[in-house]
Structure 1
């Protein structure tokens, strides 16, 4: 059995894990999880008790949740091609630091905007929440621009797990129409460069159910019922 990545739509941060799997060359399958309906349902709770995506079902029946854990697992399988690094090495620590910023400050900045979008609120409450969210997103972009430091990629001399995770979150800015990314020239160039990556085009096509051409180890999609059956067999 190939690992199965459970990815959330629409606009799930699991997008970055799809990109990373494509880059890794590791054989894998995908399972689509509609948000907020299926992701909060009893069936998916058997995969992830927190009710969030992504999750990764491994060949031995174990499941991994949380983007950072999944990305590091993928990286560990792809150390030979430079996608991951040995734990304790300087490269691992620097990559982990960048992923941690993306997973905390950059990700959480959009939280108030998603809450305002998904929940009925009084006009004044929504306005206050939106203002708070916009300020946070602007600050996170300024910080990440400094961390990029004029380089082409967030880490190293080529695309990394950090860039994969970045592109899945950065697109939320386009959804919520918060900042003009051109104010942050380094991030703007990085975002546009990532759109040309075959793995990113593949992930977009998968999410929108368009014809998707894999350049990695994609072995097809399974539905949630089939994935749960495989989980039971592995147990």
Structure 2
């Protein structure tokens, strides 16, 4: 059975996992999950009881959730393609360190901004949350600016990797929230713009926007959420 990635729209954090699957090059399918309506429904609960995306149904029928776990799974499958590294190596540790930074520092920095967007609050609370979120995004971008010194990609090398996929899906939220001025972070901006030229990143954008697109990886098409249980039991 081909893996199925359940990805959330609009602007879901599943974006990086789609990019990584394209780079992996193995057959996979996608299941589009509308947020917040569909992801919070009883129909999605069997896929992920926490009712969040992304979730990956692996080739052996297991459900695996959380971006870091999914990206780690894809990296392990892509060791021969340079996407991952053997456990116990320095490169393995460096990848996990960067993914952890992106998750705890960059991803979480946007949480106050999304809270303002998704929930009603008084003006004082709104202003405080916006100020806090913008400060956190600026701090995360500033740290990335330092880490990118002398590098084209987050972990160096001549090609993007799993960490860059996660960055591409998270950093784009700055375009939506206008949290910080890109120009203040030239290395971060250069990485972001460089990634926009990657076919896998363009593919992920097209998928989210429901545009016609040709996969450069192993994309086999979409599957509906209602069809998943039957496939999982097969």
Structure 2 gap segments, 5+ residues each: none
Say whether 1:202 aligns with 2:185. no
Q: Which residue of structure 2 lines up, in the alignment, with residue 52 of structure 1?
A: 52
Q: Does the 8 Å CA contact 1:150/1:186 hold for their aligned counterparts?
A: no
Is the deviation greater in 221-230 or in 97-106? 221-230
Alignment coverage as a number of residue pairs: 233
Q: What is the rounded CA distance, in whole Å, between the counterparts of 1:87 and 1:148 in structure 2?
A: 24
Q: Secondary structure at the match of 1:189?
A: helix
Match of 1:220, SS?
A: strand
3-state SS of 2:145 partner: helix
Match of 1:144 in 2: 144
**Which residue of structure 1 lines up, in the alignment, with residue 72 of structure 2?**
72
Dislocated runs of 4+, deviation >3 Å: none
Task: Name the structure 2 match of 1:99.
Answer: 99
Q: Give CA deviations for 1:29-87 in whole Å, capped at 9, x if unaligned.
A: 00001111111111111111111110000222211000011001111111111111111
Per-residue deviation, 1:170: 0.3
Could you tell me how far apart the structure 2 residues matched to 1:163 and 1:59 are? 24
Summarize deviations over 1:1-49 as a string: whole Å, max 9, x none: 2000000101111100000000011110000011111111111111111
Secondary structure of the equivalent of 1:117? helix
In the TM superposition, what is the alpha-carbon distance from 1:92 to its structure 2 partner? 0.5
| Match in the other structure for 1:88 | 88
Calculate the TM-score normalised by the size of structure 2. Answer: 0.97
Q: Which residue of 2 aligns with 1:132?
A: 132
Q: Per-residue deviation at 1:127?
A: 1.1
Contact 1:26-1:77 at 8 Å conserved across structures: no
Name the structure with the higher helix share: 1
Structure 1 SS opposite 2:32: strand
> What does residue range 1-235 of structure 1 map to in structure 2 within 5 Å?
1-157=1-157, 158-231=159-232, 233-234=233-234
> Secondary structure of the residue that 2:53 maps to in structure 1?
coil
Aligned equivalents of 1:148, 1:226: Cα separation in 2: 43
Task: State the distance in 2 between where 1:52 and 1:145 align.
Answer: 30
Residues in 2 aligned to 1:195 and 1:37: alpha-carbon distance in whole angstroms = 29
